[in-house]
Amino acid sequence: MEYIFSDRTNNLKPSAIREIFKYAADPTVVSLSAGNPSPDAFPVKELEEISARLFRENPIGLLQYSVTEGYAPLREHLKKYMKEKYDIGTGDDDVLITTGAQQIMDFAAKSLVNEHDVIITEAPSFIGSLNSFRAYNAKLVGVPVESDGMNMEGLEKALAENENVRFIYTIPNFQNPSGVTMSLEKRKKLYELACRYNVLVLEDNPYGDLRYSGEFLPAIKTFDTDGRVIYAGSFSKVISPGIRVAYTIAPKPIVQKMTVCKQGSDVHTNIWSQMLCYEFLTKYDFEAHLERLRTIYRAKAKFCMDLLDKYCAPEIEYDKIDGGLFIWCKLPEGVDMPEYVKKAIERKVCVVPGNAFLTDESETTNGFRINFSTPTDEQLEKGIKALGKLIKEY
Amino acid sequence: MEYIFSDRTNNLKPSAIREIFKYAADPTVVSLSAGNPSPDAFPVKELEEISARLFRENPIGLLQYSVTEGYAPLREHLKKYMKEKYDIGTGDDDVLITTGAQQIMDFAAKSLVNEHDVIITEAPSFIGSLNSFRAYNAKLVGVPVESDGMNMEGLEKALAENENVRFIYTIPNFQNPSGVTMSLEKRKKLYELACRYNVLVLEDNPYGDLRYSGEFLPAIKTFDTDGRVIYAGSFSKVISPGIRVAYTIAPKPIVQKMTVCKQGSDVHTNIWSQMLCYEFLTKYDFEAHLERLRTIYRAKAKFCMDLLDKYCAPEIEYDKIDGGLFIWCKLPEGVDMPEYVKKAIERKVCVVPGNAFLTDESETTNGFRINFSTPTDEQLEKGIKALGKLIKEY
């Protein structure tokens, strides 16, 4: 039997990162390739308590069908909380709870992008989102990322040169994979360009609460007087990724369309996990929890950067990070990055080759991504030492 | 700001059923319009026990990212269990765990159907699936359902007359909304026609385990020597719908493509709920649980049919059901069904007008759907009495 797939999915391949995970599954390999929160970062005791109480107090509510828009108390809480804390959301916006933030990328592309329409993204950008967009046969146009975010001349050029641009996709805080943060000036400029070229913005902010140094910067969504920014928030990095709860704050007509998409996809997000988030956000000290996470990751990030300085400098360069889970490492000119990554795997260290994050994977880059939240300190030291030893042999 | 949506979703409307749910939310209204399992049907104590144990024994496994294909022990168990119990699945098939069975419909359409390609469905059919297909701009061709399932001459005509038919969508057991079951002869004929016209079959079986009378019939998937049947199973009706766990058993290349779709959509299904299902299926007496559900629904279905006989005969006719959660009621010739349903709502009884389940909602039908699993016996009696009183006034 020969299977014929739709045009939109015919060329879709499993994510390159997943191929690397095969090596990473080997327990003798140090994996710096994941993006998992640190096991220390989960509020296990609190979630266990909440779950037990929900089973005692509201078992049918926990197990029965629920509504597509999401658990109403959680939606109301998020509206209020995000407005008060971050000035995100207006009376023209609404909230939809999703099964992880990836589903927001899915529904944004599904509802807004015809096949061959254009989505402008950072280059490099998060491979998961790129693949969500590719699954609708969108044309991806990448704009280089600098140490203060997307290159604005490049963005303007991409907007001017491409027809049918539907939205600009950006991760302004501690971007995956580059680790960099977009400056306030560029955030304003990006919104201004979006207005001038009349395109939407999809602002993905999974790491925003994990700022452990530097100054807080407002979301692009806070400038959104027109109703052109779709904001994506997530509990994956601050509560748990396995429970799959995220949310979008976006103009009502877009939320309504995404809600219809969700009705036709997974109907509603697991209600237990929505209640879990609501209870944790409202009955526990969420701010203290975030501070605890920042303390964990601040130490881990510093430890990792110190190791890079000690073992890999000056050959391997990187941009210092102020938050998030990733560091982007740059090999010296002339070093074949894919070959280096392969050799690293032979030496039992796994990193993600940078081309996996490009809009066109066949392009070249001298970068690779490392993650410091998942490995132990011992593993980090062992892995980065090996990366340094390898580059010094070149 | 004017929002321009993609062609595929531009005409998508919220499900008609949801509009009805607005009335049904009024506590003075008897809702016969839902499709929820009976609150008595949830294994609350067992799930509570399992969840507490999982938090004690494997909290990080419960909260951390997991793999897209699904929790490996659950996939392995399903392969073995479905083969042994129902002869479903071959060495050329694989299993993908999904966030509810609706996601299988989503990914089947996404991966197999180009815009304007044809999907043949029963008419009436499950509105959720129809909307999943509509969200990819598929052309839906409905084939009338008879008391022993889809009309086979109609199916052959649809296959012969339409180009680019990608699959036949069917719910062979206790179909939603008609309640009817496809005969063995028709199951074989459907598979034969699928082979002759070289199309795939999407066999949706959420209610199969809820047979409370009549003889068990094998799934169409059991005839699948070619590898052309995508089987959709679900725990929504037999464990809990709120936890959103379902599975497809399908040819490996299709499962691989759906897995890439899932990577780009919700990444993986909530891992807590997958573990919950696995533990309940393997460490408790699942067969005894199913028998308990059948006892509940057998009594409820009989009670409902007795009420229809008592209050609504001979004006309102229905096909006796052997399982599932729904009964399809037919009004006498000449009665305006939408008007009747509106009048019923005025009298505080909510049913679903049959045209909501047609591939073309503007077509007419004299049928409406009632559900007996969600209301209490008192509500059922009150509601059906009112339906009978109303029709006798015509």
**Which regions in chain A score pLDDT beneath 50?**
none
**Which regions in chain B score pLDDT beneath 50?**
none
Nearest residue to B222 (alpha-carbon basis) of B82, B80, B112: B82
* Distance between CA atoms of residues A250 and A231, nearest Å: 6
A173 neighbors A142 (Cβ within 8 angstroms):
no
Q: What is the pLDDT of residue A264?
A: 95
Q: How far, in whole angstroms, is CA A164 from its chain's centroid?
A: 25
Size of interface A-B (CB pairs under 8 A): 250
Q: pTM of the entire structure? A: 0.97
Q: How far, in whole angstroms, is CA A270 from its chain's centroid?
A: 21
Residue B302 tokens, joined: 């009989």
Mutate to test the interface with B, among A3, A15, A118, A252 (most CBs of B within 10 A): A3
* Distance between CA atoms of residues A385 and A389, nearest Å: 6
- Residue given tokens 């067969």 in the structure block: B287
Closest residue to B103, CB basis, from A117, A132, A265: A265
Determine if the peptide bond prior to A177 is cis (ω within 30°). Answer: yes
Nearest residue to A327 (alpha-carbon basis) of A152, A128, A147: A147
A106 chain-B contacts, CB cut-off 8 A: 264-266
Quote the Cα angle for A134-A149-A340, to 5°. Answer: 70
Alpha helices in chain B (DSSP H): 7-10, 16-24, 44-57, 59-63, 72-86, 102-112, 127-134, 152-161, 184-196, 252-263, 271-283, 286-307, 337-346, 377-392
Residue B285 tokens, joined: 């007496």
Facing residues of B247 across strands? Answer: B97, B233
* Distance between CA atoms of residues B73 and B247, nearest Å: 13
Closest residue to A227, CB basis, from B1, B65, B117: B1
Contact B242 A3 (CB under 8 A): no
Residue A351 tokens, joined: 């990193």
Mutate to test the interface with B, among A260, A276, A289 (most CBs of B within 10 A): A260
DSSP secondary structure code for residue A360 in this structure: S
Q: What residue in B sits closest to A199 (Cα-Cα)? A: B3
Q: What is the pLDDT of residue A20?
A: 73
pLDDT digits (tens, 9 = 90+) for A327-358: 999 999 999 999 999 999 999 999 999 999 99
Question: Which positions ≥6 away from A258 have C-beta within 8 Å?
Answer: A96, A104, A107, A108, A111, A248, A250
Cβ burial of A45 (10 Å; 0-12, 13-18, 19+) is exposed
Encoded amino acid at A260, one letter: V
* Distance between CA atoms of residues B129 and B193, nearest Å: 22
Q: What is the pLDDT of residue B133?
A: 97
B63 chain-A contacts, CB cut-off 8 A: 42, 44, 47, 240-243
Q: Which SS3 state, helix, strand or coil, does residue A151 take?
A: coil
* Domain B7-43+288-392 falls under CATH 3.90.1150.10: yes
* Cα-Cα-Cα-Cα dihedral sign, residues B85, B87, B92, B93: negative
Residue B340 tokens, joined: 């009747």
Residue B109 tokens, joined: 């359409």
Q: Where in chain B is the domain with CATH 3.40.640.10?
A: 65-283
* Distance between CA atoms of residues B208 and B232, nearest Å: 11
Element (H, E) at A108: helix A102-112
Residue A223 tokens, joined: 């400038």
Contact B63 A48 (CB under 8 A): no
Contact A263 B131 (CB under 8 A): yes
Facing residues of A139 across strands? Answer: A118
- Residue given tokens 């999401």 in the structure block: A70
Q: How many CB atoms lie within 10 A of CB A5?
A: 18
Q: What is the pLDDT of residue B12?
A: 87
Q: A333 CA to chain B: closest CA distance, Å?
A: 33
Q: B357 CA to chain A: closest CA distance, Å?
A: 14
Q: How many CB atoms lie within 10 A of CB B309?
A: 14
- Angstrom CA distances, B322 to B14, B105, B325, stand at 31, 25, 10
- CATH architecture designation of domain A64-283: 3-Layer(aba) Sandwich (3.40)
Q: A164 CA to chain B: closest CA distance, Å?
A: 11
* Distance between CA atoms of residues A44 and B54, nearest Å: 11
Contact A260 B66 (CB under 8 A): no
Q: What is the pLDDT of residue B13?
A: 79
* Distance between CA atoms of residues B101 and B265, nearest Å: 14
Cβ burial of B287 (10 Å; 0-12, 13-18, 19+) is exposed
Q: Where in chain A is the domain with CATH 3.90.1150.10?
A: 7-43+288-392
What is the predicted ipTM? 0.96
Q: Where in chain A is the domain with CATH 3.40.640.10?
A: 64-283
* Distance between CA atoms of residues B149 and B132, nearest Å: 22
Question: Which positions ≥6 away from A64 have C-beta within 8 Å?
Answer: A271, B36, B37, B39, B42, B240, B241, B242
Q: A353 CA to chain B: closest CA distance, Å?
A: 19
Cβ burial of A330 (10 Å; 0-12, 13-18, 19+) is middle
* Distance between CA atoms of residues B104 and B107, nearest Å: 5
Q: 3.40.640.10, 1.20.1070.10, 3.90.1300.10, 3.40.190.10: which CATH number matches B65-283?
A: 3.40.640.10
Q: What is the pLDDT of residue B363?
A: 87
* Distance between CA atoms of residues A54 and B169, nearest Å: 38
